[in-house]
Amino acid sequence: MKTEKDTISMQLVREALLQSCPPGAATVEVLGRVGIDPARLALPDARVPSSAYARLWRLLARRCNDEFFCMDPRGLRSGSLAFLCRSSMAQPTVGTALASALEFLTLMFEHLHPALVRQQSLAEIVIGEPHQDPRRPFTYFTFWMIVHGVACWLAGRRIPILAIELRCAEPDFCDDYRVMFSQNLQFDRPRTRMIFAADCLDLPVRRSAEELQRFLAEAPGNILVKYRDPASLARRIKDDLRRLPAAEWPETEALAQRLCISASTLRRRLADEGQTYQALKDSVRKELAIGWLAQADISFAEIAERLGFADTSSFYKAFRKWSGSNPGHYRSLVLASG
């Protein structure tokens, strides 16, 4: 029997049920209908197929007439996602489409008022909050799941996220959020925002009515960024690289020896996962650089040295390749307050 590798933590199932479904018999009935064993709800490390989570989302949306798990006083009435996509795809570029989508969401929500801001080579979606108390993390991440998922569909490709900042405190569970969005999640920040390269805003929107129909038929499963198997070789290598100074990162032959496999087997197994060792090293370097740039007391020269670059100019060149922005501009944007 084939098992489904793409899974979602049961923690997110509990969060989805919190405001949208009464506990007890109602929860048992709802979970049974979407193929989730209610007995596993109490298991902290349990996971469910992403397809089951998508079915849960659709069922709760129908029952509550709210596509946002009842987490806003106004909410998103059934059909909101379809209207948002239909109106956005009429725009000429991803930037104008996103601006249109966020304007619609501002009209719909009472507590979340998002806006798109372009800052030279970087862009950010900032969530204004008229009510001062921060929302719970699941609220913000569900919002990002919808907005980022639609933006990627409009662009016809995945839009890499450089950072997500949130006003709320860090929750006990963050693993799936880091896989879905970015390793660079920062909590207890002055405002909630997502930062990404601005060049994707200039991409043309070319979506047909047939593509819209197919996208909506598969939603929200198609906007759930797939969980990556924690046992995968790529994940294991990245975890090991994070624990070591960059100067001590092994070369391919040495890494293969550590893993008790040949270098050719290492390359083949990574290729099977759609990865290369160089790409994994670049990914970890980018992740570390973004985190350190958010700390004003760490100089660019020190970051370059920590990442194993020969000099600061080499770090500048690499960072521009990764993010489309120079480190100074990124730091000024991230450290900006208010």
What are the per-10-residue average pLDDT scores of the chain (338 residues)? 63 94 93 94 88 92 95 93 95 97 96 94 94 91 94 90 94 87 90 94 93 90 62 84 92 94 93 87 91 91 94 94 90 78
pLDDT of residue 235: 83
Question: Which CATH number is correct for 233-335, 1.10.10.60, 3.60.20.10, 3.40.190.290, 3.40.1190.20?
Answer: 1.10.10.60
Which tokens in the block code for residue 293?
A: 């740039």
Give this prediction's pTM: 0.83
pLDDT of residue 173: 86
pLDDT of residue 1: 30
Taking the C-alpha atoms of residue 173 and residue 184, their distance in angstroms, rounded to an integer, is 15
pLDDT of residue 229: 52
Strands (E) in the chain, as ranges, are 7-9, 47-49, 113-119, 122-128, 161-165, 185-186, 192-197
φ, ψ at 208 (rounded to 5°): -95, 170
pLDDT of residue 21: 93
Alpha carbon 209 to its chain's center? 27
pLDDT of residue 5: 54
pLDDT of residue 225: 55
pLDDT of residue 227: 42
